[in-house]
Amino acid sequence: MVLLVFAFTVPPFVQGAAKSISTDLELTMVSESPQGFTRTEHLTTSPTQEDDEIAVRVEHTTEGPGDEVFSEGMIIDEVTLIGHSRFPVPEPSASMTGSRADHSGEAREGLQYFFPANTMRNSYHYYDITLGDTEPVDYLDRDGDVYTFYQHRRYQPIDEDTSYSVERTLDVEHRSGMIVDKHELITFHEPDGDREVEFSFTAATRANLTEHAGDITATLRTAKILDFTAKFLGLLLIGIGLFQTGIFRRTR
């Protein structure tokens, strides 16, 4: 009986915790470009007063040649996510400063920093911090446990004189939902011509994110093994107990 109670409580709790977002996570994602820019995203999480709601804060900085179009200084993005789904909460909890899409106390839609655990091979709404809105990112291909998603947004207006295009590819370890690689080709279309920059995660960033994804996957796998083993042993012991009571003996 104790094993059955264990099987129906502990493994599901471990699985649920692994599928959610850790409340003390700290990740640094560095992207480099052939044009000489370096983009850094420093992500931290913290608990909220609500169950399964995680506060996420990300500091975006871009350094490189003195081009104001791409070197916007620091962007601070704050959003509360639903832990198990990785989508924003429906309440107006998101804010952003330092970008073209600054806002405060808004309800946000779409994925951004994480995909759901056990990511599906379909389309997901994805949030763009330059535009401040969402459009689908589509499943493209897979390489083992890594799913590739693709999005191409063309000539999105930013102001009266400038429009924006972005072509992005995201590699997602589908069991953990971690984005383990990201490539973006960004273009600002201006009256005097196009300004273009290309960003890709560094090798060190890809390695760190892949390792973190592996830790989550290992926890999920361990929970499944515990679940099966505890249930099997619990049912076996119940069967032995029933047999010893003589309930299966033939009456004469």
pLDDT of residue 219: 75
**Calpha distance 68→66 (Å, rounded):** 6
Residue 99 resides in a domain = yes
Greater confidence, 236 or 118?
A: 118
For 50, the domain range is 2-226
**Calpha distance 108→91 (Å, rounded):** 8
What is the pLDDT confidence band of residue 13, given thresholds at 50, 70 and 90?
very low
Residue 251 resides in a domain = no
Strands 124-128 and 103-106: unpaired
Q: What is the pLDDT of residues 16-44, one digit of tens each?
A: 444 578 889 999 999 999 989 999 999 99
Q: And the tokens for 187?
A: 């273009």
Residue 250 resides in a domain = no
Q: And the tokens for 40?
A: 């850094």
Number of folded domains in the chain?
1
Residue 233 resides in a domain = no
pTM metric for this prediction: 0.81
Give Rg (Cα) of the chain. Answer: 23
